[in-house]
Structure 1
């Protein structure tokens, strides 16, 4: 069984995606050790992949293509026309990858939504305090709607409920905004 998987992995059509899978695994290892970030590759086409990072979309597409090719090759390796079935498996794999990536992107898209554009705006504190580790504030947008955001304050006395401050910058890693009172 292992020999069949190895032959399928390095045979057509799976070999096309085997190399890409090695690249993808290498990329995610760099992300895991902190030498790269999920957003390093860029953003995907918002219409095609639901605004998830391109690195995530390419990973899903590569994995689905490789798995489909591997499964197809293992299922059809005993067929009478292996070369023809290889091209058919490749076409099926690309179709499955595209459809599967779109589906996964729809599920993941809410996790990658960008922060509201509140930098430079005035906010009103909603929590009992705001310091380096805790706080929430309400920002009124230009169209009159309100957005509640997580905020932090670097220096000064902790801000209290009802106090106002200015949103200075977004800390993407922490998922909050730095403010100054």
Structure 2
């Protein structure tokens, strides 16, 4: 046991040992947070509070709330969010360039640290002297990259990339008019996204549509990217004969 501790605290293993402690601590906290709190609170974990519906009043804004990725607490989503400018949390810039993308950053980093620690520990036990230990450090880094890359590729299938929401997703959906009327120059409507969140968007008609008044339903059939608004037409969702 003493030999193991000595090897774990010797160069270069010590560099990865401290990183491994952080990684193990992180996953223990995640495990306890996911299991312990659910058991203590009768299955109700943190973050299960219902959100509030956000409404955006500007043409450049599409406000979502109450669901992941769409804002929170009724704050308005920005145009950048509507176009998905942030990208997925599955990817880190450096990790992508190393061929380690496709999984959460925490998973990739944990694998890198674990493989590097194991290889450096084995090399530390089998070698002695600064030059040899320096070679072990280099080998551990390369082995960690190759090993993690080999594991990440099949593992990435379990973490499909989330496609960011865009304004174009609203095309083809039914909305409810929220202004007194909708014309070619003015109008707002409320539309429900695929995830169940709602947004108030700017809408226009291509011609005068007297039937599009507050509370009526309309079909979003196009998006005008230049003016950042949606084109709608009267739509009755009720089946014929009702």
In the superposition, the TM-score normalised over structure 2's length comes to 0.44
Describe the shift of the 1:84–1:33 C-alpha distance in structure 2 as closer, same or farther (beyond 3 A): same
2:108 aligned partner: 57
Greater percentage in strand: 1
User: Does the aligned pair in 2 maintain the 1:121–1:166 contact within 8 Å?
Assistant: no
1:46 aligned partner: 96
Deviation at 1:168, TM superposition (A): 2.8
Cα distance in structure 2, aligned partners of 1:91 and 1:49? 19
Greater percentage in helix: 1
1:67 aligned partner: 118
Greater C-alpha radius of gyration: 2
Tell me, which stretches of 5 or more residues in structure 2 are unaligned?
A: 35-45, 47-88, 174-191, 198-242
Describe the shift of the 1:166–1:84 C-alpha distance in structure 2 as closer, same or farther (beyond 3 A): closer
Aligned residues: 120
Describe the shift of the 1:96–1:19 C-alpha distance in structure 2 as closer, same or farther (beyond 3 A): same
2:155 aligned partner: 108
User: Does the aligned pair in 1 maintain the 2:113–2:144 contact within 8 Å?
Assistant: yes
Higher relative contact order (CA 8 A, sep 6+): 2
Tell me, which stretches of 5 or more residues in structure 1 are unaligned?
A: 124-164, 171-181
1:99 aligned partner: 146
1:24 aligned partner: 23
Moved over 6 A (4+): none
Describe the shift of the 1:33–1:10 C-alpha distance in structure 2 as closer, same or farther (beyond 3 A): same
Cα RMSD for the two superposed structures: 2.7
1:167 aligned partner: 194
Describe the shift of the 1:23–1:166 C-alpha distance in structure 2 as closer, same or farther (beyond 3 A): closer
Describe the shift of the 1:4–1:42 C-alpha distance in structure 2 as closer, same or farther (beyond 3 A): same
Describe the shift of the 1:11–1:33 C-alpha distance in structure 2 as closer, same or farther (beyond 3 A): same
Cα distance in structure 2, aligned partners of 1:43 and 1:32? 22
Describe the shift of the 1:60–1:71 C-alpha distance in structure 2 as closer, same or farther (beyond 3 A): same
